[in-house]
Amino acid sequence: MSEAVCLILSSFAVAVLAPRPLARLTHRGIAPQFELVAWLSAIGSVIVSWTVVPVIVIAYVIVDLAEPGRPVLDSCYTQLHDAATGHYGVLVQGGFVALTGFAMCAGVVLLVRVGRWFLLARSTTHEHARMVRIAGRHDAGLDAIVLEVAQPAAYSVAGKPHTVVVTRGAIAALDQHQLRAVLEHERAHLAGRHHLWLALTRGLAANLSRIELFTLGAGEVARLLEMCADDAAARVHGRTAVLRALLTLSGIPEAASAVLGMNGVDLPARVERLIPPIEPRPGVRAHLALGVVVALVIIGPLASATLAAIGIAVSAPLLG
């Protein structure tokens, strides 16, 4: 039972302590794919821990009720078992049952809400993709839907099939090389199924808005996904084309890129990392720091869950 306690403590430690250090380590986007793994690992470890804890408790309850005389549980769980069976009185038993029921109901409600959010996002994007294909015209040369809109814009919409959308204003504002880079950026979003990660993290942030790991994490994941798509486009068309296209679509003159910090969005970081650095970037040190963070947020819950599984597996034969 101590494994469940370890999982709870480690998950709350990650939820409370990890967001700010992770944000500092990943704000420059030196290795966006690795940094994305770090954020998703932190978020995933907390969710998995909260999911596994009830399973561990229920498994130990089954083992103990089936063979109450066996010394297969530690003293912590023995006390919980006594509370659940009324050894400390009806009041304590009722409180324990109510607390357990509340925790399980809260978990079910969270899963339902996030699931509904996910399905709603999926339905909305699929419907938007369908309407865009009706309103626009497919350009075989670009392999994209062209909307007759003067405002420069380009985006991707997940659907059946997935759709890349570009406006007539963007086609007019960008040269062919830049336009191809923009389209490659949007196709990278679709190929990487970035919409799924966005829907999941935004759903968690919307339903767990008081926990900074999820609220801050949703924004950081979205920013890193943009950087991953930038890199995918830069590998094919070069950084300069992606940078100029990004500035053009943002409506900001290229000469103003040095003062983009006043913009209030994640554009400055994306622009900065696309500009060739004068000095080598501290990639090795950042990679090592992120590696340590990922190891800490994964190893703790994984070790606790493994020990719990071993303990239950060892206890189960005693029931025979």
pLDDT, one tens digit per residue, over 163-220 is: 999 999 999 999 999 999 999 999 999 999 998 899 889 988 988 888 899 999 999 9
Q: For the chain, give the secondary structure using H, E and C.
A: CHHHHHHHHHHHHHHHHCHHHHHHHHCCCCCHHHHHHHHHHHHHHHHHHHHHHHHHHHHHHHHHHHCCCCCCCCHHHHHHHHHHCCCCCHHHHHHHHHHHHHHHHHHHHHHHHHHHHHHHHHHHHHHHHHHHHHHCEEECCCCEEEECCCCCCEEEECCCCCEEEEEHHHHHHCCHHHHHHHHHHHHHHHHCCHHHHHHHHHHHHHHCCCCHHHHHHHHHHHHHHHHHHHHHHHHHHCHHHHHHHHHHHHCCCHHHHHHHHHHCCCHHHHHHHHCCCCCCCCHHHHHHHHHHHHHHHHHHHHHHHHHHHHHHHHHHHHCC
Please tell me which residue, 263 or 126, carries the higher pLDDT value.
126
**Rounded mean pLDDT, 6-11:** 72
How far apart CA 176 and CA 109 sit, in angstroms, is 49
Please tell me which residue, 235 or 66, carries the higher pLDDT value.
235
Pick from 108-117, 192-201, 218-227, 253-262: least confident: 253-262
Query: How confident is the prediction for the chain on average, in pLDDT?
Result: 76
**Rounded mean pLDDT, 124-128:** 80
Amino acid 207: pLDDT: 84
How far apart CA 217 and CA 220 sit, in angstroms, is 5
